[in-house]
C-alpha cells in the first residue's frame, strides 16, 4: 500500500481507500478488453525488436500530408477572433497552432526523447 505522507490527515485515509478500491475494480475489465491489451503488449514487445522500415514513399507522403494540412488551414481559417488578439492576429495564431499540431508527428518523438533524457540525467545527478 502506498503511503501518502504529503497529504493532510483528513485526505490521507481517503487516498488509501480510493487506491485500494480502484485496484480491486481493475479486475472487472471485460475479457475482450483484457485480451486486446494482452495482444497489444505482445505486439509492442515483438515490434520493438524489429528494425523500423521507412520506405521512400513514406517520406514523400509525409511531405504531401504536411502540404495538405497547410492548404487546409489556409482555406478553413477559424471564423472567430481569439480572446485578447486582433482578428488578423488571432487567425494567424490559430492557423500556426493548427499547422504545428497537425504536422508535429515528424519531430514529436525527437523532442520527447530529448526531454526524457534530460530528466533522467537530472535524476541521476540528484541521486549521486
Partner 1 sequence: MLLSALQELVTDDSLSSPVDLNAFLSGVERRAYLRALRATRDRDEALDLVQDAMLKLSRHYETRPGREWPALFQRILTNRIRDWQRRQAVRRRLFFWRDTVDPREDEIQDRLDGIVDPAQVDGATALVQAEQLRKVMAALDKLPARQREAFELRVWEGLPVADTARAMGCSEGSVKTHLSRAMASLRDAAERELP
The site for partner 1 (CB under 8 A) is made up of 2, 4, 6-8, 10-11, 14-15, 17-19, 21-22, 25-26, 28-30, 33-34, 36-38, 40-41, 43-45, 47-49, 72-73, 76, 78, 94, 97-98, 101-102, 108-109, 112-113, 115-116, 119-121, 123-124
CB closer to partner 1 out of 88 and 109: 109
**Contact residues for 20 (Cβ-Cβ < 8 A; gap 6+):** 1
- Kindly state the cell numbers that stand for 100: 504545428
The CA distance from 115 to 7, in Å, is 29
CB closer to partner 1 out of 42 and 64: 42
∠ CA 66-72-78 to the nearest 5 degrees?
Answer: 130
Q: How far is the CB of 67 from partner 1 (least distance, A)?
A: 16
Q: How far is the CB of 54 from partner 1 (least distance, A)?
A: 14
Q: How far is the CB of 53 from partner 1 (least distance, A)?
A: 13
- Tally the residues of the chain: 128
Please choose, from the candidates 128, 21, 81, the residue with its C-alpha nearest in 3D space to the C-alpha of residue 13.
21
**Contact residues for 24 (Cβ-Cβ < 8 A; gap 6+):** none
Q: How far is the CB of 56 from partner 1 (least distance, A)?
A: 22
Amino acid at each position: 500500500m502506498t503511503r501518502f505522507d504529503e497529504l493532510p490527515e483528513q485526505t490521507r485515509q481517503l487516498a488509501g481507500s480510493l487506491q485500494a478500491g480502484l485496484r480491486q475494480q481493475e479486475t472487472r475489465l471485460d475479457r475482450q478488453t483484457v485480451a486486446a491489451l494482452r495482444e497489444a503488449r505482445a505486439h509492442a514487445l515483438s515490434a520493438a525488436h524489429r528494425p523500423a522500415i521507412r520506405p521512400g514513399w513514406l517520406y514523400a507522403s509525409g511531405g504531401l500530408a504536411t502540404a495538405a494540412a497547410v492548404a487546409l488551414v489556409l482555406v478553413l481559417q477559424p471564423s472567430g477572433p481569439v480572446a485578447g488578439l486582433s482578428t488578423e492576429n488571432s487567425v494567424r495564431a490559430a492557423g500556426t497552432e493548427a499547422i504545428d499540431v497537425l504536422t508535429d508527428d515528424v519531430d514529436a518523438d525527437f523532442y520527447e526523447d530529448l526531454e526524457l533524457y534530460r530528466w533522467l540525467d537530472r535524476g541521476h545527478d540528484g541521486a549521486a
